[in-house]
Structure 1
Amino acid sequence: MKKKNANSKENKRTNKVIDKLNSYKFLHIFLYSILAVILFVALYSNVKPETLDIELFTVSDQTIYAPTTVEDKVETERKQQEAYDSVEDQYVLKKEISEKQVDLVSSIFDTVIEVRKEEEKEKEKEKGNEEGASTTTSNEKVEKIRGKLTDSINKKIPADTFVSLVETSEDELELAKDAVVTAVNNIMSKEIPIVQLTEAKKQVEDELQYTSLRPEVSESATTLARFAITPNYVFDLEATEEQRQLAVDSVKEAQIKQGQILVEEDELINREVYRKLGLVGLLDDHQSFKPFLGLGLFILLILAAVVYFFEKKDSPISRKNNSLLLYCLIFAITILLMKIVSLFQKIDYTHIGYIVPVAMGVMLVKLLLNERLAILTSMIFAVCGSVIFNEGITGNFNFSIGIYYLFGCLAGVLFLGEHNLRSKILQAGLFVAGVNVLALTAIMLIRNGGYSNMEISSYFVMACASGLVSSVLTIGFMPFFETGFGILSTMKLIELANPNHPLLRKILTETPGTYHHSVMVANLSESACEAIGANGLLARVAAYYHDIGKTKRPQYFIENQMNIENPHNKLSAQLSKNIIISHVTDGVEMLRKHKMPKEFVDIAEQHHGTTLLKYFYHQAKQTNDSIYEEEFRYPGPKPQTKEIAIISIADSVEAAVRSMSNPTPEKIEKLVRSIISDRLQDNQLDECDITLKELDIIAKSFCESLKGIFHSRIEYPELTKKQKVKKE
């Protein structure tokens, strides 16, 4: 006995410590940090850049693929240089050069004509004295002509070229000028690159060959024409640079594509291959911090979603910490399963990830916490799985397995309803298995790959095993989490509603009247809760136990007084009050002793609130005017939730209606609304978030239920006769 008491004290001390820890706000910050650490440890090795111990000019022992897409700047620059060099020099036809050369040759002839005219004028001045007239020689005339020309022209045109021109007639000189100007203009109107200059000079010779000029004049004219021919198709630096720049800009960025083969097995690793291996980060000469920075941001996004969900809920710190701790455990177990299974990828089981029972995690979250959180967790598991199972693929994300996990998890969440027995969870596992098979089939068809029958069979077996194992593990973990965290799940409620439960059998056998009353209250409460969106199943099952304290002294409660005298007739009002009130504390003690859910304890403790025992109060008032009303009130506390408020009202309504003679719908509705009005006036509903609109809906629900129970019946003739005889 002493040992039992010691254990009980130790358990109470432990529970107090846990409750105290749960009350600290910093605890949920610590749990978020633990969640971040779990994610980082699980994903670190999968995002860590792969490095190879490879030496230059050795033979590769494996085929190496590029793990990511990177720009090959060296190759890009080489291609750009090739494009730059491939552009030919750009030339342009300069018409101004042609015009300039035509003007030049024309001006040379004009100079010759001018010198001739000057000589003629001097001859006319000296005409009067023929004997004394001096004669200008041809060489002197040539010197005058060369004196009027530039040095560059004089260097390129021999002096004897002008001799025949100054000695010829004026008409022939004009003819020579026209012929040269025409020939030069014709030839210079065409493109003459520098490499074709000789050919162009030959063409101008050929054009002047058939003139009617004397040979010596024709030769001089040809010399001047050849002098005038110069390249007019010249190099255009600006156009050339523009074309080269266009060629460089048109070169696409050279990239090493993700999945590209860098070196084949048994192939020599030359300098170019070695350079590319270093470029994609496969050499251990440097480590990039970018993947770890990306992983940090990735974890931050996941935490932001989880924090947003938990922090926006307006619930006590202790309950928030409790829920978050449970979520972290479920999350850690699921991620650990993924990580353990992923180790088999190293031994060529690349697609082993399809067997992971990842749906277990979200099914537990749905059953124990919240459906919206379960859907969010489905997305998180899908993304984490795509990173963890990235072995054998190019890149860090295996999108196929991510999609597979997403569909499987969502299937588990959506199939589970409100009331989930173990058979329902097994059915959910079968449903997940079916969805897994469909998702895998879709993935394989989209890939359009060639799969052997063995591969297809193994994939489908893993998909089915994943769904079934998820449901089995869910059923296996549920009792541990429910017990360890004091969670009242739907399945737990259904188990507690079993009439074979020891406490329910105790109520049924020892207090059958109370049991019937509890069942009636349960029916009323469930329908009313569901009408306003509260937890109807919790209200129903908790109502079965709310008067368990009456089993300690059953004969003191009127519903159990069958064929016996009311014992309160022999007791004082003060003592009767204490006995009636004690059923609340007795019930709370019994429920705690049997480790019943906290919600049941709260309902048993609060379903009377601080209401007044009017009968015994008025009875005591008749004998003693100094009695205070507070002495005849229940100790409370008042109802804290909608479910407790509804059970509290239903408890009074059922007892009041049962005591009515010939209840009618009108009487029932009047009674129900008067009880609700009394509770409002007595401030019994001040501490729960129930509204007047919801109270009106509750009243209508009670009336509908009670009308079905207390409906009018046909009065049989024989019974009528017996009743008349009885009356007589």
Structure 2
Amino acid sequence: MVKQKWQDVYSKNKEKLFIPLIIAVLFLSAYVLLIQVTKPESYQAKLFSVSEKTIRSPQTVVDTKKTAEEKRKASEEIEDVYVFNRETAENQVAFMQSIFDYIDEVRTETASAEKKAKKEADENNAAAPKKITDASKLASFKSKLVGDHAGNITENVSDATFINLLNASQTDLKAIQDQVITEVEETMESRIRETNLNTKKVQARDDIELSQMPSRYKTTAKSLVTNAIIPNETVDAEQTKARKKEAAENVVPEKILQGQVIVQEGQIIDRETYRQLDLLNLINQKMPIKQYAGYAFLILALFLLLYFYTKKRKYPPKKRQQTMLIFTSVYVTTLVFLLVIRFLESANLMNIAFIFPAAFMPIILKILLNERYAFFGVIVVGVTSLFIFESDTTSIMNVLMVAFILLSGLTGVVALKDYSRRIMIFQTGLIVGAMNVIYAILLLAINNSILFSLNALQVIFYAFIGGIGSFMLGLALIPLFETMFGLLTTSRLIELANPNHPLLKKILMKAPGTYHHSMMVANLAESCADEIGANSLLVRVGCFYHDIGKTLRPPFFVENQLHGINPHDRLTPKQSRDIILAHTKDGADILKENHMPQPIIDIARMHHGTTVLKYFYFKEKEANPEILESEFRYSGPKPPTKEIAIINIADSVEAAVRSCEMPTKEKISTIIDGIIRERILDGQFTECDISLKEIEIIRETLKRTLNGIYHQRIQYPDDSKGETK
């Protein structure tokens, strides 16, 4: 009753309540634990009071305020770096040249148009045509201007200037062009910044004023030149920043050295002295803000790593949330153990840290999640312990303790193989305890400690107890975690494997062929799971229920068809497709209605992945060549776990071999090779962590098992009946 109530609350509120709760518990628990690290001695010093004792710096720290001030001064002394851009000058000269080219084009077009109009008037004895207006010529000229420069020059240069150029004689226009181009080219060759831009423009206008150009065109030329001259030397922000940064980095940091006298006994604590004491955290037992922030970011970093790693696994949202909840809950439990050990250390229990159950979190994660999360858990515990056991006086032992925790955790992950039986978990605990003893001796030797002493024996004893304790705690708490999160336990799987289960009876009564097929697939898949170290019990039970969706329409599946009657003969390929493809969804719905565990539901829904229903696809393609293959694929998703991948292969192999007439060793091998090759090429195993080596083991296991089932029998004559044995 309590279990169901907990699971109902979890199902309804996990998104709104549990994920924020995970974050809150994780941060609060880690904070309570990590801030207990040894603090420096504090003094009740007050500003402008007389120091009652000589205060020295307990450590070497950088005086950030003074250092920052020196860096700022050094950076400000560096002037901006300017870069001369020769292309700017070339572009401006080219643009001025293009303006005069456009003037020539308009003048030529105007003369040609007027000449043509006059000729037509003479031929028709008409009145002489009007000359093309300045406005028309100006419009034609502006239409030829394109780009950003065009907008600038038409805004900054008056229309009268362009009309003067359009109406100038060829000789005058040539003189203006030569003077303008020369002046722009010569001026832009010099370095021009925003600070001296106006000076350069005034010099250019003075040069034009003193030139031999007709005076009536000097204003026009000045206008063009003034617009053409722009800065060609700009601040290089990157180089300037780099030089300022280099100057700042070359500043030697101002430091308060360890042992340095901050204030002598009897001296007045002035503002500078008080600031230094505050910097060293020697006032009012205050821990610096940056240390609080550091712990916050440490925990945040661990949580984000967990989040993105879980997201990368491409789990469904429900599975992802459950995974994160399990991991963080186990982590918080581990933090509690660390806090207890730290408390015992403060009670002067020497070497008690070695009793810490370092393998607890990894083995719990391996059993409840998978091996990858277990290794991730080893790293998380190791990083956390680095701060938990931190001590200024025992820094070497701190390093040894972290090394011991990492080694013990890794050993727990590697040593734990078969965790379907509780006794195997306990036996693994003995192995880890023995290895902990070896690690403790090695670390003591590295630390040059006396191996034959009471202290060393104490370390060895605690290490052994810690190894066994990890697994004893695991045995005690695994059922609690399984109950809290509705996980599929070994006992629950054994219960579901009982042939008297109502759903198995339903399959047997409504679809006996499917029942027999499921039993055969279970045998094959279980053998494969055993060989590659997957959860064989889950595979077997999952196979029992994987085709339960066929009980809704048994005759439409070949194993349930009797007397050669096939109802698909009366249906179109698309109708047949809909019925066949629906059995995965129907099966998942039936299992969900009967409150079956999620892994069993996932097997029923995903065991075909996104494979193609080839028979009906090709049958439909004969009538409709345009039909898409995707329309005849199972909805998936692709198998996300090794267990479902094994069932995916074994299900198809069993059906194919069963439908084969007189299966021989060669035929069986060909069928298995073909199905596996087809699955790999179709990308059916891209979402799970099964390796090619494991697939090869599955291939050989299927061949060996099926050859044992379908071995060729030798016929013996029976004198009385002639029967074959």
- Interval containing the TM-score (normalised by the shorter chain): 0.5 to 0.7
Q: Are 2:406 and 1:399 equivalent residues in the alignment?
A: no
**What residue is the counterpart of 2:192 in the other structure?**
none
Local SS of the residue matching 2:329: helix
Local SS of the residue matching 2:35: helix
Distance 1:297 1:377 in 2: 18
Q: Per the alignment, do residues 296 and 58 of structure 1 end up closer, same or farther by CA in structure 2, a change over 3 Å counting?
A: same
Q: Per the alignment, do residues 465 and 725 of structure 1 end up closer, same or farther by CA in structure 2, a change over 3 Å counting?
A: closer
**What residue is the counterpart of 1:319 in the other structure?**
319
**What residue is the counterpart of 2:598 in the other structure?**
598
Distance 2:439 2:405 in 1: 9
**What residue is the counterpart of 2:657 in the other structure?**
657
The alpha-carbon deviation at position 467 of structure 1 amounts to 1.7
Distance 1:689 1:391 in 2: 44
Give yes or no for contact 2:545–2:600 (8 Å, CA) kept in 1: yes
Q: Per the alignment, do residues 391 and 667 of structure 1 end up closer, same or farther by CA in structure 2, a change over 3 Å counting?
A: closer
Q: Are 2:434 and 1:438 equivalent residues in the alignment?
A: no
The alpha-carbon deviation at position 320 of structure 1 amounts to 2.9
Q: Are 2:455 and 1:478 equivalent residues in the alignment?
A: no
1:409-433 deviation digits (Å, cap 9, x = unpaired):
1211121236653222212211222
1:573-628 deviation digits (Å, cap 9, x = unpaired):
79x9999999767754553355433232133245568987989xx9xxxxxx9xxx
Q: Per the alignment, do residues 31 and 709 of structure 1 end up closer, same or farther by CA in structure 2, a change over 3 Å counting?
A: same
**What residue is the counterpart of 1:422 in the other structure?**
422
> How many residues are aligned here?
500
Give yes or no for contact 2:507–2:548 (8 Å, CA) kept in 1: no
Distance 2:526 2:293 in 1: 52
Unmatched tracts of structure 2, length 5 or more: 64-255
Q: Per the alignment, do residues 701 and 446 of structure 1 end up closer, same or farther by CA in structure 2, a change over 3 Å counting?
A: closer
**What residue is the counterpart of 1:43 in the other structure?**
34
The amino acid across from 1:429 in the alignment is: G
The amino acid across from 1:640 in the alignment is: K
Local SS of the residue matching 1:398: helix
**What residue is the counterpart of 1:328 in the other structure?**
328
Local SS of the residue matching 2:721: helix
Distance 1:679 1:307 in 2: 31
**What residue is the counterpart of 2:638 in the other structure?**
640
**1:491-502 mapped onto 2 (5 Å cutoff):** 495=494, 502=501
**What residue is the counterpart of 1:109 in the other structure?**
none
Same amino acid, percent of matched pairs: 30
Distance 2:295 2:8 in 1: 43
Q: Per the alignment, do residues 504 and 707 of structure 1 end up closer, same or farther by CA in structure 2, a change over 3 Å counting?
A: farther
1:642-662 deviation digits (Å, cap 9, x = unpaired):
765764564354245335443
Distance 1:559 1:451 in 2: 70
Distance 2:383 2:687 in 1: 41
Give yes or no for contact 2:306–2:324 (8 Å, CA) kept in 1: no
Q: Per the alignment, do residues 383 and 714 of structure 1 end up closer, same or farther by CA in structure 2, a change over 3 Å counting?
A: same
**What residue is the counterpart of 2:379 in the other structure?**
379
The amino acid across from 1:15 in the alignment is: S
**What residue is the counterpart of 1:185 in the other structure?**
none
The alpha-carbon deviation at position 514 of structure 1 amounts to 4.9
The amino acid across from 1:439 in the alignment is: Y
Give yes or no for contact 2:40–2:282 (8 Å, CA) kept in 1: no
Q: Per the alignment, do residues 377 and 495 of structure 1 end up closer, same or farther by CA in structure 2, a change over 3 Å counting?
A: same
Q: Per the alignment, do residues 292 and 710 of structure 1 end up closer, same or farther by CA in structure 2, a change over 3 Å counting?
A: same
**What residue is the counterpart of 1:463 in the other structure?**
463
**What residue is the counterpart of 1:248 in the other structure?**
none
**What residue is the counterpart of 1:352 in the other structure?**
352
Distance 1:10 1:526 in 2: 33
1:494-521 deviation digits (Å, cap 9, x = unpaired):
7578657846974898687655432321
Local SS of the residue matching 1:45: coil
Q: Per the alignment, do residues 437 and 684 of structure 1 end up closer, same or farther by CA in structure 2, a change over 3 Å counting?
A: closer
Q: Per the alignment, do residues 500 and 405 of structure 1 end up closer, same or farther by CA in structure 2, a change over 3 Å counting?
A: farther
1:347-395 deviation digits (Å, cap 9, x = unpaired):
3224332222232112112222343443343233234224323469456
The amino acid across from 2:465 in the alignment is: A
**What residue is the counterpart of 1:15 in the other structure?**
11
Q: TM-score, normalised by structure 2?
A: 0.52
Deviates more, 1:504-513 or 1:597-606: 504-513
1:63-83 deviation digits (Å, cap 9, x = unpaired):
x9999544899xxxxxxxxxx
Question: Rg larger in 1 or in 2?
Answer: 1
Distance 1:679 1:384 in 2: 43
Give yes or no for contact 2:407–2:439 (8 Å, CA) kept in 1: yes
The alpha-carbon deviation at position 471 of structure 1 amounts to 0.6
Distance 1:255 1:12 in 2: 59
**1:548-627 mapped onto 2 (5 Å cutoff):** 548=548, 587-588=587-588, 591-593=591-593, 595-607=595-607
Distance 2:423 2:56 in 1: 49
Q: Per the alignment, do residues 42 and 518 of structure 1 end up closer, same or farther by CA in structure 2, a change over 3 Å counting?
A: same
The alpha-carbon deviation at position 331 of structure 1 amounts to 0.7
**What residue is the counterpart of 1:389 in the other structure?**
389
Q: Per the alignment, do residues 314 and 383 of structure 1 end up closer, same or farther by CA in structure 2, a change over 3 Å counting?
A: same
The amino acid across from 1:363 in the alignment is: I
Q: Per the alignment, do residues 436 and 520 of structure 1 end up closer, same or farther by CA in structure 2, a change over 3 Å counting?
A: same
Q: Per the alignment, do residues 452 and 480 of structure 1 end up closer, same or farther by CA in structure 2, a change over 3 Å counting?
A: same
Give yes or no for contact 1:518–1:544 (8 Å, CA) kept in 2: yes
**What residue is the counterpart of 1:722 in the other structure?**
721
Give yes or no for contact 1:378–1:409 (8 Å, CA) kept in 2: yes
Distance 1:715 1:367 in 2: 50
Q: Are 2:412 and 1:412 equivalent residues in the alignment?
A: yes
The alpha-carbon deviation at position 671 of structure 1 amounts to 5.9
Q: Per the alignment, do residues 473 and 552 of structure 1 end up closer, same or farther by CA in structure 2, a change over 3 Å counting?
A: farther
Distance 2:311 2:686 in 1: 23
Give yes or no for contact 1:379–1:406 (8 Å, CA) kept in 2: yes
Local SS of the residue matching 1:339: helix
RMSD: 6.0
Distance 2:481 2:635 in 1: 29
The alpha-carbon deviation at position 669 of structure 1 amounts to 5.4
1:8-47 deviation digits (Å, cap 9, x = unpaired):
999778625436879xxxx58x856754443333111215
**What residue is the counterpart of 1:362 in the other structure?**
362
Give yes or no for contact 1:421–1:494 (8 Å, CA) kept in 2: no
Q: Per the alignment, do residues 709 and 441 of structure 1 end up closer, same or farther by CA in structure 2, a change over 3 Å counting?
A: same
Distance 1:541 1:351 in 2: 47
**What residue is the counterpart of 1:517 in the other structure?**
517
The amino acid across from 1:641 in the alignment is: P
Q: Per the alignment, do residues 59 and 380 of structure 1 end up closer, same or farther by CA in structure 2, a change over 3 Å counting?
A: same
The alpha-carbon deviation at position 336 of structure 1 amounts to 1.2
The amino acid across from 2:380 in the alignment is: I
Local SS of the residue matching 1:722: coil
Give yes or no for contact 1:360–1:471 (8 Å, CA) kept in 2: yes
The alpha-carbon deviation at position 476 of structure 1 amounts to 2.6
Distance 1:427 1:45 in 2: 36
